[in-house]
Every structure is written in C-alpha cells, then in structure tokens.
Amino acid sequence: MGKKLYVGNLPFDTTEEQLRASFQACGTVDSVRIITDKMTGRSKGFGFVEMADDAAAQQAIQKLNKSRMGEREIVVNEARPMENRGGGGGRGDWSGGRGGQGRGGRY
C-alpha cells in the first residue's frame, strides 16, 4: 500500500491530471483526489495524492511543499488519518426548544 499525502492551498481550477503530473516527477502516483463541494462541485482547494512508496512520498514532500502552483504556494505533507467526528445524532432529548415562558415585556 502506498503513502497518502495531503495537498493544500491548491488553486481552485487545478485538475486531478495536473496534480498527478506534478507528483509523477517524484515517483509512481497510485491515486489523486481533489476534494469538491457536494453542492456546487467546485474544488475546496485541497486534495490527496497517494504515492507508490515511502521514498517517493518523502521526495514529493521535500520537492513540492511550499512550491508554487499557479498563483499559490501549496502545502504538501503526510495525510493524517481522518478523525471520527461523531456526526449524526441530533438532539435526541425530546425538548422542543424554548417552551412557553412568555415574551417578557418591557421594563
């Protein structure tokens, strides 16, 4: 299994093909994914590149971190495992909001 890298501060018009081409200079690229907004389909300005091995990943970090892509200085580092944010759930306490305490008039 390869080494996954986080790539941040990408220009919003960067394509996965462009990102792949930049990283291929450092070694074999297994996968590329630019994260997009679910509603608009626009890039969120970051993504992930999976390199074939640790050596290629380290070379990519050294060569491409703080390099320029378009008008931006990109950030490249090892991707951290996604934290469990909990999600879902909701209120679950059956309380219906503020209740009927009245409007509380003026002084």
Alpha carbons 89 and 87: distance in angstroms, whole number? 6
- Any idea where the domains of the chain sit in the sequence? 3-78
If pLDDT is split at 50, 70 and 90, which confidence band does 82 have?
confident
pLDDT tens digits, residue range 58-73? 999 999 999 999 999 9
CATH no., domain 3-78: 3.30.70.330
Q: Which DSSP string corresponds to 47-58?
A: EEEEESSHHHHH
Indicate the range of 3-17, 51-65, 67-81, 88-102 predicted with least confidence. Answer: 88-102
pLDDT tens digits, residue range 1-39? 689 999 999 999 999 999 999 999 999 999 999 999 999
Largest CA distance in the chain: 73
Residue 97 has pLDDT above 70, yes or no: no
What pLDDT is attached to residue 85?
67
Identity of the residue numbered 92: G
Alpha carbons 65 and 53: distance in angstroms, whole number? 18
Residue 84 has pLDDT above 80, yes or no: no
